[in-house]
Amino acid sequence: MKNLSPVSGIHSVRAALKFGSEGVTELWLERSRHDRRLAEVTALARQAGVNIRQMERAELDTAAAGTNHQGVLAWVRVPAARSEAELTALLDRLEQPPFLLLLDEITDPHNLGACLRTAEAVGVQAVIAPRDNAVGLTPVVCKVASGAAETLPYFQVTNLVRVMEDLKARGIWLTGTAGEAESELYQVDFTGAIGLVMGSEGSGLRRLTRDHCDRLVRLPMCGQVESLNVSVAAGVCLYEALRQRRAH
């Protein structure tokens, strides 16, 4: 289907219908399959006014491109990343201290999707990433994000360092993660206006990005591995920030 992407699997399709039904154009159901979970998805689609088609399993297999569709597939419009001007407007109207996530050249769609899902869960108001050398909102990202790509504002900017300078001018304290940092994650204050800055999967934060952070922190590592997957590290940091902000 032109300009549309498939989202497959009961959990992902349910999330798309619950949190972004306006972007779902059609629902495909396996003709020979009937169970309670598919009935729930069908009911959500009908409530949203989404067209439903009964399809053969082979047609679902082809459209799902090898993923486990579980008898259901939704055709959705992938949400577009927002602009720098829209970021400024969002920050201007925030009534609570900003809680932001900045991702420096994340290229793996599974990592971005996982970061979006966690960020949405903890109440992050915006995720900011560079336009170049970074993955956008692809179908894989949206599937892994399980609805967060439709509800959490995702901004792609031309110059991440310049945006960081603008954020600091607003009084937003930027904390980057780096293995060689002196302070551990649990020793710093994440209350107030903050932006958490995470580096890429391989090389971490770029030098200029690192230099424009107000402080660097490291996650305590007790085993033999030197670092965590970026989406896991982001989850640890975001939930520590949430813990402090709720206590505060």
How does DSSP classify residue 23?
Answer: G
Provide the 3-class DSSP secondary structure of residue 190.
Answer: coil
102 is in an annotated binding site: no
DSSP string, 51-71: EEEEE-HHHHHHHHTTS--TT
Q: Are 179 and 227 in contact (CB under 8 A)?
A: yes
Secondary-structure breakdown of the chain: helix, strand, coil percentages, each rounded to the nearest 5: 45, 20, 35
Residue 191's closest CA among 169, 178, 177, 172?
Answer: 172
Question: H or E segment at 73?
Answer: strand 72-76
> Residues 71, 141, 22, CA angle at the centre, nearest 5°?
65
Q: Residue ranges of the alpha helices (H) in the chain?
A: 10-20, 36-48, 57-64, 84-93, 109-122, 139-145, 148-151, 160-169, 207-211, 230-247
228 is in an annotated binding site: yes
For 25, phi and psi rounded to 5 degrees? -100, -30
87 is in an annotated binding site: no
Q: Binding site: which residues? A: 199, 219, 228
Binding residues for S-adenosyl-L-methionine: 199, 219, 228
